[in-house]
Structure 1
Amino acid sequence: MRTKLVIYQVFTRTFGNKNLTKREYGSLTENGAGKMSDFDKDVLRHIHDLGVTHLWYTGVIRHATCTDYSAFGIPTQNPRVVKGRAGSPYAITDYYDIDPDIAVDVDARMAEFEALIARTHAEGMKVIIDFVPNHVARQYKSIAKPEGVEDLGEGDDTGKHFDPQNNFYYCPGEQLDLSGVVENVYAHDAEAYHEYPAKCTGNDRFDSHPQQNDWYETIKLNYGVDYCDAGGRSYHYHPVPSTWKKMTDILLFWAAKGVDGFRCDMAEMVPHEFWAHATQQVKEHYPAMIFIGEVYDPNQYRLYVASGFDYLYDKVGMYDCVRGVICDECPASSITQEWQKVDDIRDHMLYFLENHDEQRIASDFFAANPWKAIPSMIVSALLQQNPVMVYAGQEFGEKGMDKEGFSGCDGRSTIFDYWSTEAIYKGFFNRKALTTDEKKLSLVYQGLLRFCNREKAVREGLTFDLMYVNNQSHRFNPNKQYVFMRKADNDVLLVVANFDSERVNINVTIPSHAFDFLGLSEQTVEMTDLLSGYTKQVALRRDGQVAVDVEGNYGRIYKFVLKK
């Protein structure tokens, strides 16, 4: 049986944190941190009951932090090259290690992660972790690498800006200059940071003077591409670059731990030739392994799919589109154009409304109302067979309006600071504190996510977009309503998403073409709305209309079974 992926992203460090101090720029001692052990049987079962198939643990691999773990043999990091007191999970300091913040027993952190994988699998879900291939923390040093493994940069010729077998890019004869970076408030007592020769910065900055808006805390990995060649960039893939071998070995290391998939950070900043090499090697040993790529250039989507990626973020297409619809910046009918642009690779596109990079829907910077996401969630979850993702707390209406420290009040849940997330704390650890509205919202999310695999028409059915014939229909507003059908065997869904804040009574036209494409026949059917249980009799006719009454910021998912 085909499975439609339903991914639940958690930020591991904050998810289970029950310390509600929330002191701005607070330390680990003051604000606390969630642990891997917080994902116990009950929590995992709750997540699985949402309809989740894959759990993405963000921030698992050890990264730069201002917290001193030297008593456990972990190298300290200079706060001047750390973003936030807790640090960014995308500034990796050891690809072979587990972040100590999320361990109860720091010395047993890898065993705790292995136990987390086992618990997650036991509750019927697969495990995804981040793979950060483009850059590492400035003070990267592996203390957990297997015996015989050469560390990144260990064999580099630091006298060259570029060498195909170097792991990093250098500025020979130059000291790293951080004068363009604003000093963090928690770093004023730190020693000056010295780096000689300067390594080039993670966001493709190939000089020694990173600025405030650069990824100044990271250094760029070298996959055999000379970005500063006199004739433009040049490629040096034969013999296979050292970085290719080392990074593929890291993937295989985590795959051997039982990880089921990798979400690959900024995948398009790493040459597709490497991905073809690495994904092939990993899948030879672990055929079921999935790779999810963060790729923002639609012109490269197909190239990265061909290079071994199973799924790609649909950020600049579907996410930006539905955000625009929610915020009254574009019509609901524009959703059609977005899925059509990638129709040839539609099963590879991952839909989402929130993640660690994006603003919370309920924040003042986005919609200021979590219910405004429901029509988009209906579309994202039910339109196609492709994966859908939810960010923890989204289902309870997390606002993301805290001023945590480094990240400030920006409508996002911090990934840089020690913090607790109110909606997650209430939803998983103090449910009596949930409001009636929050409980109702979470039940709607649960229903939609469960439909993804409970309904065969959603899981593996055909899709027919009804917008082209309803754009000019009487009593239908293409700016505010989006309609489509799904069908598998004799099960049919008529889905209506209403982006209007007001309740509407509309007529949905089902064209003759839909009857032909889906194999429908004219007959009277009993339609049941899966969201409400409401049932009504409808006469299906070619080019006929179905009257629909739908609440504001909501939808109808009418299911009916064709008579043979």
Structure 2
Amino acid sequence: MEKSSGKIVIYQLMTRLFGNKKTTNTPYGTIEENGVGKFNDINPAALKSLHALGITHVWYTGVLEHAVLTDYTKYGIPLDDADVVKGRAGSPYAIKDYYDVNPDLASDVNSRMTEFEHLIERTHAEGLKVIVDFVPNHVARSYKSDKKPAGVKDLGETDDKNVAFSASNNFYYLPGQSFQVPAGYKPLGGGTFPTLDGKFEETPAKVTGNDQFTASPGVNEWFETVKLNYGVDIQNGRRTFLDPIPDTWVKMKDILLFWASKKVDGFRCDMAEMVPVEFWSWAIPIVKAQHPGIIFIAEIYNPAQYNNYIHTGKFDFLYDKVQLYDTLRLLVQGKANTHDIHSIRQTQEGIHQNMLHFLENHDEQRIASPYFAGDPWKAVPAMVVSATLDNGPVMIYFGQEVGEPGAGTKGFQGDDGRTTIFDYWGVPEHQKWMNGGKFDGDSLSLEQKQLRLFYSDLLNLASKNPALVAGEYIDLTASNIAAGNFTDKVHAFLRFSGEERLLILTSYNAAEQVVKVQIPREAFQQAGLDPAGSYIARDLLWREAEVGFDQNLTFELKLKPYSSFIFKIK
């Protein structure tokens, strides 16, 4: 069953957490104590429910094999060293083998790749597409592929370790120095593991994933990972040596092709801006030539590089974290004003359709946590803007749609308002929707059911409505604030395509207020409407409001706290 074309709507799920039914949640708990979700837990009922929610793409996070502190030696998988693993389940971004999947996720470890392939098939059967992580900047310190195809040489296998930098090396080295475990690091919170001895043998030491050229990285650095070398001499003015094509480029291109051959539909590329844009410009067209339609999403945080990574790097979509996410979060918290939204869209002129919007992901604090909003309903207007502002994709994180707060001291990550990515854990509010594997939401509270219905209505509108999929945009905020119709805590804009004309109105006020909204005559005409005509606007989101325009193309409306509307003008 193929889903009709429209706006891309991504559902990110942490694969090891999504299907976990255990509720023990002991800090640093073992896989036996706290449980773990499996590929097989993501069943047709779950996927049907996601499709009904308005989702088009599922991002399965943490699929590739990474370092973990669970014993799989009976399956021929060596123990990882606890001194360079964060948490007990490990970071999904400390890749141990690019050609294998995490054994935690398999019901039968020996059949782990087959089980993942079956998940891809189930996902496609429900009309959804599959996104997986590609982690190109760094690997686990213990990286060693035992599943690489015949004839493939491992990363670092042919490196000259006597030099700090060589364009043909896969890693950067610190000759004459040995790696030191960060001082003060207490793996497992002081617990025990067979490989835990305060040491990790690595001579010469390799440079950390976040470019720390020291054999003694701090505990807050990416000490569990090592940086990959793409032919850039970082310590000498970032000089590039790209001819001939560096060996790392070829290896990483082959890894992309390996996963594309599994019929995944896209890659979310971790810390893409830490990899030279020239690599992407070379590799992405090669992959797309063999697998047309596959998409590439860049995790990127430098707006000055957005155009470069789209036009030169050939990425389809980029994270819009630093601009829209940060602004909407501050708006919800009462620390920004709505003028900033249109300013962001202006700075992204020509690329706004390439920006991926979100309010949650695995790196960010949960909306319902006290660190963000403390109440999932307060972020509803921000979510409406994220989903409707332009033609680019929108993403939610599993549990967001039921108000998961990310509470509890999990282990390595502590209690910081995020759902752990480093430890085995059950996600309580999400588990209520999961309902023992039925994925029917029967265990949710009435309020949670209402919240999930809001997300369903919004995401289905965003993914299918012509004005939101491919329509034009006109800002109404600046003119209405200037006219004194509302304050800079209210936002309004038009989206239109053909006969579909929408007015999106959101409020970030904590108190009820009455506002006026006026559409300038020129904007009315631009949207294909007759200023002398008679029009009403009906809300598509809550289906409770209807307003009429007066002769000045103005209507008046009472806004409840943190309210939002998607008015269809007829």
Structure 1 stretch displaced more, 319-328 or 169-178: 169-178
Q: Could you tell me how far 1:337 is from its partner in structure 2?
A: 1.2
Q: Which residue of 2 aligns with 1:520?
A: 529
Q: Which residue of 2 aligns with 1:224?
A: 231
Once residues 90 and 38 of structure 1 are traced to their aligned partners in structure 2, the CA distance between those partners, rounded to angstroms, is: 22
1:85 and 1:186 in contact (8 A); partners too: no
Q: Which residue of 2 aligns with 1:117?
A: 120
Residue in structure 2 matching 1:446, options 438, 441, 456: 456
Once residues 426 and 218 of structure 2 are traced to their aligned partners in structure 1, the CA distance between those partners, rounded to angstroms, is: 30
Residue in structure 2 matching 1:208, options 211, 215, 224: 215
Q: Which residue of 2 aligns with 1:155?
A: 158
Deviations 1:164-187 (A, max 9, x none): 111001111211122435122235
Secondary structure in 2 aligned to 1:432?
coil
Q: Which residue of 2 aligns with 1:348?
A: 354
Once residues 513 and 362 of structure 2 are traced to their aligned partners in structure 1, the CA distance between those partners, rounded to angstroms, is: 34
Tell me if 1:53 matches 2:60: no
Q: Which residue of 2 aligns with 1:532?
A: 542
Q: Which residue of 2 aligns with 1:358?
A: 364
Tell me if 1:417 matches 2:414: no
Q: Could you tell me how far 1:304 is from its partner in structure 2?
A: 0.4
1:141 and 1:151 in contact (8 A); partners too: yes
Q: Which residue of 2 aligns with 1:198?
A: 205
Once residues 272 and 492 of structure 1 are traced to their aligned partners in structure 2, the CA distance between those partners, rounded to angstroms, is: 39
Q: Which residue of 1 aligns with 2:91?
A: 88
Once residues 157 and 47 of structure 1 are traced to their aligned partners in structure 2, the CA distance between those partners, rounded to angstroms, is: 49
Once residues 474 and 225 of structure 1 are traced to their aligned partners in structure 2, the CA distance between those partners, rounded to angstroms, is: 54
Ranges of 4+ aligned residues in structure 1 off by more than 3 Å: 186-189, 534-537
Once residues 179 and 294 of structure 1 are traced to their aligned partners in structure 2, the CA distance between those partners, rounded to angstroms, is: 27
Q: Which residue of 1 aligns with 2:300?
A: 295
- Structure 2 letter corresponding to 1:203: N
Once residues 350 and 165 of structure 2 are traced to their aligned partners in structure 1, the CA distance between those partners, rounded to angstroms, is: 38
Residue in structure 1 matching 2:138, options 115, 135, 138: 135
Q: 1:394-409 maps to which residues of 2 (within 5 A)? A: 394-409=400-415
Q: Which residue of 2 aligns with 1:304?
A: 309
Q: Which residue of 1 aligns with 2:110?
A: 107
Q: Which residue of 2 aligns with 1:169?
A: 172
Tell me if 1:393 matches 2:402: no
Q: Which residue of 2 aligns with 1:545?
A: 554
Tell me if 1:498 matches 2:507: yes
Deviations 1:489-523 (A, max 9, x none): 11111111111123332110111221233222121
Once residues 181 and 206 of structure 1 are traced to their aligned partners in structure 2, the CA distance between those partners, rounded to angstroms, is: 20
- Structure 2 letter corresponding to 1:132: V
Deviations 1:403-439 (A, max 9, x none): 1011000000000000010121111225333111111
Q: Which residue of 1 aligns with 2:387?
A: 381
Q: 1:460-499 maps to which residues of 2 (within 5 A)? A: 460-478=470-488, 480-499=489-508
Once residues 34 and 2 of structure 1 are traced to their aligned partners in structure 2, the CA distance between those partners, rounded to angstroms, is: 31
Q: TM-score, normalised by structure 1?
A: 0.97
Once residues 545 and 299 of structure 2 are traced to their aligned partners in structure 1, the CA distance between those partners, rounded to angstroms, is: 42
Secondary structure in 1 aligned to 2:549?
strand
Q: TM-score, normalised by structure 2?
A: 0.96
Once residues 52 and 512 of structure 2 are traced to their aligned partners in structure 1, the CA distance between those partners, rounded to angstroms, is: 30
1:375 and 1:499 in contact (8 A); partners too: yes
Unmatched runs of 5 consecutive residues or more in structure 1: none
Structure 1 stretch displaced more, 87-96 or 503-512: 503-512
1:396 and 1:438 in contact (8 A); partners too: yes
Once residues 188 and 142 of structure 1 are traced to their aligned partners in structure 2, the CA distance between those partners, rounded to angstroms, is: 23
Once residues 546 and 371 of structure 2 are traced to their aligned partners in structure 1, the CA distance between those partners, rounded to angstroms, is: 40
Number of residue equivalences = 557
Once residues 13 and 82 of structure 2 are traced to their aligned partners in structure 1, the CA distance between those partners, rounded to angstroms, is: 26
Tell me if 1:316 matches 2:316: no
Once residues 411 and 536 of structure 1 are traced to their aligned partners in structure 2, the CA distance between those partners, rounded to angstroms, is: 38
Once residues 337 and 150 of structure 2 are traced to their aligned partners in structure 1, the CA distance between those partners, rounded to angstroms, is: 57
2:139 and 2:226 in contact (8 A); partners too: yes
Q: 1:380 to 1:540 in 2, by over 3 A?
A: farther
Q: 1:179 to 1:58 in 2, by over 3 A?
A: closer
Residue in structure 1 matching 2:336, options 330, 336, 360: 330
Deviations 1:124-180 (A, max 9, x none): 110000000000000000011111111111111111111111100111121112243
Structure 1 stretch displaced more, 512-521 or 155-164: 512-521
Residue in structure 1 matching 2:518, options 509, 517, 523: 509
Structure 1 stretch displaced more, 334-343 or 262-271: 334-343
2:6 and 2:464 in contact (8 A); partners too: no
Q: Which residue of 1 aligns with 2:72?
A: 69
1:15 and 1:34 in contact (8 A); partners too: yes
Tell me if 1:78 matches 2:81: yes
Deviations 1:430-482 (A, max 9, x none): 5333111111111111110000123111111111110121112344122x211
Unmatched runs of 5 consecutive residues or more in structure 2: none
2:6 and 2:463 in contact (8 A); partners too: yes
Once residues 445 and 274 of structure 1 are traced to their aligned partners in structure 2, the CA distance between those partners, rounded to angstroms, is: 37
Once residues 504 and 49 of structure 1 are traced to their aligned partners in structure 2, the CA distance between those partners, rounded to angstroms, is: 34
- Structure 1 letter corresponding to 2:357: Y
Deviations 1:200-259 (A, max 9, x none): 111001221111111000000000011122xx2211101100000000000000000000
Q: Could you tell me how far 1:67 is from its partner in structure 2?
A: 0.7
Q: 1:151 to 1:490 in 2, by over 3 A?
A: same
Structure 1 stretch displaced more, 526-535 or 159-168: 526-535
Q: Could you tell me how far 1:287 is from its partner in structure 2?
A: 1.8
Q: Could you tell me how far 1:12 is from its partner in structure 2?
A: 0.4
Q: Could you tell me how far 1:19 is from its partner in structure 2?
A: 0.7
- Structure 1 letter corresponding to 2:255: I
2:182 and 2:219 in contact (8 A); partners too: no
Deviations 1:255-314 (A, max 9, x none): 000000000000000000001111011011112010000110111111100111000000
Tell me if 1:242 matches 2:252: no
Once residues 383 and 208 of structure 1 are traced to their aligned partners in structure 2, the CA distance between those partners, rounded to angstroms, is: 46
- Structure 1 letter corresponding to 2:497: A
Once residues 338 and 406 of structure 2 are traced to their aligned partners in structure 1, the CA distance between those partners, rounded to angstroms, is: 26
Once residues 468 and 65 of structure 2 are traced to their aligned partners in structure 1, the CA distance between those partners, rounded to angstroms, is: 38
2:207 and 2:215 in contact (8 A); partners too: yes
Please, what is the CA RMSD of the aligned residues? 1.4
Secondary structure in 2 aligned to 1:47?
helix
Q: What percent identity do the matched residue pairs reach?
A: 47
1:511 and 1:544 in contact (8 A); partners too: yes
Structure 1 stretch displaced more, 501-510 or 463-472: 501-510
2:435 and 2:443 in contact (8 A); partners too: no
Deviations 1:337-377 (A, max 9, x none): 11211122101111000000000011011111111110001
- Structure 1 letter corresponding to 2:363: D
Tell me if 1:252 matches 2:262: no
- Structure 2 letter corresponding to 1:204: D
Once residues 5 and 546 of structure 1 are traced to their aligned partners in structure 2, the CA distance between those partners, rounded to angstroms, is: 33
